[in-house]
């Protein structure tokens, strides 16, 4: 008995030793991680001229334009900011934010209630340590997963939900496109799991759906992992290698050059549409400057935000080959099951205005650099019982579609 007792004591001591060693290693790993986080925050958070605290807790730093993260890129060391595009497409269906489709109101972001950035600066949402630590790694912070583009042409039904991304989109292809525009209904979809998101955006795509895909994206999103809350926020994204190493959200890496002092990438949008109540939408235009070759973004009628330099891209240095508009969610459940993360308003398209979410006045920029209605619009969704899309056309809204859904429901297990 004494021998067995002695062996038991030795085993206990050995387990305690392992626990102490692993605990020590965890502390060292945490220290290394915190060092990397601090270094990354120093790169992202530039010295502000002024800081504005938003009611939602965000800190908006007003930064000199040449101090923004874009200028950490080696190709931009001697870059002179292009303060305005050399060309703007014809304006059609010009609205900034619309209530109930008729009463106009100004585009606002929540931080505007506490002030604005002065002229000669740009607003940047300050990144916190908590923001970075929510990411899988410092390297992946601010990046989408590798598979987040809908593939309406070559989708394999056997692969539905393999990567957890679900879509409900309208799209055009088979031509050269030099931009796109849409007016997007703004909602605050419910997210079941913190590692999921829901967004509504336009995609400007070039290349194949392999590892050479170029993409420029803009719209609104709810992403607890990225922002730490469930607010609806303006966002942009870009990649030149199918989300592998290049690109990021907003200004979280070198790339997009902002020139506007009024709108902050990643900041909360206000107000938000209500079910059966007032409806609000935002207008987004992305187009290619035919002289400089840069891709510009405009928010509403009045806010030209900035541009993606053409050197960031391979295929998009020339033109896009596909445009997509619509919604995307990430579903984290395995084996084809679904969470109840909502897309759009969380209601199906057939419920119509005030209940379902919509895109209206969708347009493309053609080879003559004019905005025009797209031809041969296709629609696509992986599982219409979870999220669906229905398109149409009328005199007031031009080409439009309703989209979205609740995710998990009796017909979507």
- Burial group, residue 253, by CB count within 10 angstroms (0-12, 13-18, 19+): buried
The C-alpha atoms of residue 168 and residue 245 are separated, in whole angstroms, by 26
Which of 226, 291, 294, 318 minimizes the C-alpha distance to 265?
Answer: 226
The mean pLDDT value for 385-409 works out to 97
What pLDDT does 251 receive? 97
Which of 397, 401, 403, 362 minimizes the C-alpha distance to 381?
Answer: 403
State CA 133 to chain mean position distance. Answer: 19
Percent pLDDT > 90 in the chain is: 74
| DSSP-derived pairing of the beta strands 248-249 and 257-258 | unpaired
What pLDDT does 409 receive? 95
pLDDT tens readout for residues 148-175: 566 664 444 333 444 688 999 999 999 9
Note whether 230 and 172 are within 8 A (CB).
no
Those residues whose C-beta lies under 8 Å from the C-beta of residue 63, and which sit 6 or more positions away, are 46, 47, 48, 49, 121, 122, 123, 124
Catalytic, out of 217, 324, 333, 382: 217
Region of 49 on the Ramachandran plot (φ > 0 left; ψ -120 to 50 alpha; else beta): alpha
Is pLDDT above 90 for 11?
Answer: no
Is pLDDT above 90 for 20?
Answer: no
What pLDDT does 405 receive? 98
Catalytic, out of 173, 196, 324, 328: 328
Better-predicted residue by pLDDT, 406 or 107: 406
Q: With the C-alpha atoms ordered 336, 342, 344, 346, is the resulting torsion angle positive or negative?
A: positive
The mean pLDDT value for 328-343 works out to 88
Q: Classify residue 188 by its DSSP letter.
A: -
What pLDDT does 249 receive? 97
Confidence tier at 308 by pLDDT (50, 70, 90): very high
Q: Whole-model pTM?
A: 0.87
The C-alpha atoms of residue 77 and residue 217 are separated, in whole angstroms, by 25
Note whether 358 and 399 are within 8 A (CB).
no
Active site residue 173: no
Is pLDDT above 90 for 17?
Answer: no
pLDDT tens readout for residues 52-111: 999 999 999 999 999 999 999 988 988 999 999 999 996 543 333 333 343 344 568 999
Active site residue 36: no
Whole-number Cα distances in Å, 104 to 156, 254, 280, 361: 43, 35, 9, 16
What pLDDT does 34 receive? 78
Better-predicted residue by pLDDT, 155 or 334: 334
Domain architecture of the chain: domains with CATH: 93-119+161-404 (2.60.120)
What pLDDT does 30 receive? 76
């Amino acid at each position: 008995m004494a021998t067995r007792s002695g062996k038991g004591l030795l085993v206990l001591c050995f387990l305690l030793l392992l626990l102490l060693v692993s605990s020590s290693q965890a502390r060292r790993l945490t220290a290394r991680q915190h060092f990397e986080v601090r270094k990354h925050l120093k790169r992202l958070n530039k010295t502000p001229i002024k800081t504005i605290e938003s009611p939602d807790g965000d800190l908006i730093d007003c930064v000199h334009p040449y101090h923004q993260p874009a200028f950490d890129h080696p190709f931009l060391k001697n870059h002179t900011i292009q303060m305005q595009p050399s060309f703007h497409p014809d304006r059609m269906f010009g609205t900034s934010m619309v209530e109930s489709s008729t009463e106009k109101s100004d585009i606002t972001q929540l931080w505007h209630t506490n002030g604005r950035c002065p002229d000669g600066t740009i607003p940047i949402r300050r990144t916190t340590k908590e923001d970075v630590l929510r990411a899988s790694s410092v390297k992946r912070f601010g990046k989408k997963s590798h598979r987040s583009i809908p593939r309406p042409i070559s989708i394999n039904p056997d692969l539905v939900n393999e990567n957890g991304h679900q879509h409900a989109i309208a799209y055009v292809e088979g031509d050269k496109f030099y931009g796109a525009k849409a007016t997007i209904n703004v909602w605050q979809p419910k997210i079941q799991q913190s590692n999921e998101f829901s967004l509504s955006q336009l995609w400007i795509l070039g290349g194949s759906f392999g590892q050479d895909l170029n993409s420029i994206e803009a719209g609104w999103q709810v992403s607890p992992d990225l922002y730490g809350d469930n607010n609806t926020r303006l966002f942009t994204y870009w990649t030149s290698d199918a989300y592998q190493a290049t690109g990021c959200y907003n200004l979280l890496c070198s790339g997009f050059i902002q020139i506007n002092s009024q709108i902050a990438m990643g900041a909360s949008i206000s107000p938000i549409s209500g079910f059966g109540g007032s409806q609000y939408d935002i207008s987004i235009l992305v187009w290619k400057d035919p002289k400089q070759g840069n891709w510009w973004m405009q928010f509403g009628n009045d806010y030209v935000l900035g541009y993606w330099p053409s050197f960031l891209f391979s295929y998009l240095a020339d033109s896009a080959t596909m445009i997509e508009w619509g919604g995307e969610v990430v579903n984290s459940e395995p084996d084809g099951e679904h969470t109840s993360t909502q897309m759009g308003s969380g209601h199906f398209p057939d419920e119509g205005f005030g209940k379902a979410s919509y895109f209206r006045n969708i347009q493309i920029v053609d080879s003559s650099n004019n905005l025009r209605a797209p031809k041969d619009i296709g629609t696509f969704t992986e599982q219409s019982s979870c999220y669906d899309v229905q398109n149409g056309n009328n005199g007031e809204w031009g080409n439009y579609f309703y989209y979205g859904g609740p995710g998990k429901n009796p017909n979507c297990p």
